[in-house]
Amino acid sequence: MEGMLPKLIYSVLLIGVLAILLHELCTVWFDPQVYIGRFEVVSEAGENLEADQAFAKRIIGARTCVVMPLAIRFRVLDRLRCCWAWVMALSCRALLC
């Protein structure tokens, strides 16, 4: 009974760390938003606001180029999966009748 308190505290800490890790994992996989901070481009002439905005736009454009084909592919796969489910349901129904 004496050793229960340290084990209980350790278990609570491990569960807390696990909860934080699961939250981060869900954020990475299921959060569709892109978080882009403020960029500061500094050259010899000083701070360049146009370059700051252009850099952020290039990042968003590159992400769009990567994500859009994947989104289209997943939509096609979902439609095929749905059609396949209907075919299987109809064939099972035909076998049972």
Q: What is the pLDDT of residues 19-34, one digit of tens each?
A: 999 999 988 888 877 6
Q: For 26-74, how does the pLDDT look when each residue is reduced to its tens digit (9 = 90+)?
A: 888 888 776 666 777 676 776 777 777 788 788 888 888 888 888 888 8
46 & 90 share domain: yes
Taking residue 53's Cβ as centre, other Cβ atoms within 10 Å add up to 13
26 & 60 share domain: no
13: pLDDT strictly greater than 70: yes
Which residues lie below 8 Å from residue 40, measured CB to CB, with a gap of 6+? 47, 52
58 & 95 share domain: yes
Q: For tokens 């278990």, name the residue.
A: 11
Write out the residue range of the structural domain in which residue 83 sits.
37-97
8 & 24 share domain: yes
DSSP strand pairing (42-43 vs 46-47): antiparallel
At 1, the pLDDT band (50, 70, 90 cuts) reads low
pTM > 0.85: yes or no = no
9 & 25 share domain: yes
* CA trace torsion 58, 59, 63, 64 (10° rounding): -30
Number of domains in the chain: 2
20 & 49 share domain: no
What is the rounded distance in angstroms from the CA atom of residue 63 to the CA atom of residue 67? 6
